[in-house]
Amino acid sequence: MRDYHKLRAFELADQLAVAIYKCTKSFPKEEMFGLTSQIRRAAVSAPSNIVEGCARSSQADYARFLEIAYGSVCEVEYQLSLAQRLGYLELQSAKETTSLANETGRVLNGLLRSLKSDS
CA dist 34 and 61 (Å) reads 31
Cα separation, 93 vs 99, whole angstroms: 10
Residue 30's pLDDT band (cuts 50, 70, 90)? very high
Q: Would you state the pLDDT for residue 53?
A: 97
Residue 119, pLDDT > 70, answer no
Q: Give the C-alpha separation, 16 to 31, whole Å.
A: 20
Alpha carbons 53 and 71: distance in angstroms, whole number: 14
Show the DSSP H helices in the chain as ranges: 8-24, 35-55, 59-85, 91-118
Residues 65-111: tens digit of each pLDDT:
999 999 999 999 999 999 999 999 998 999 999 999 999 999 999 99
Q: What is the pLDDT of residue 46?
A: 98
What CA–CA distance (Å, rounded) separates 80 from 77? 5
Full set of structural domains in the chain with CATH: 4-118 (1.20.1440.60)
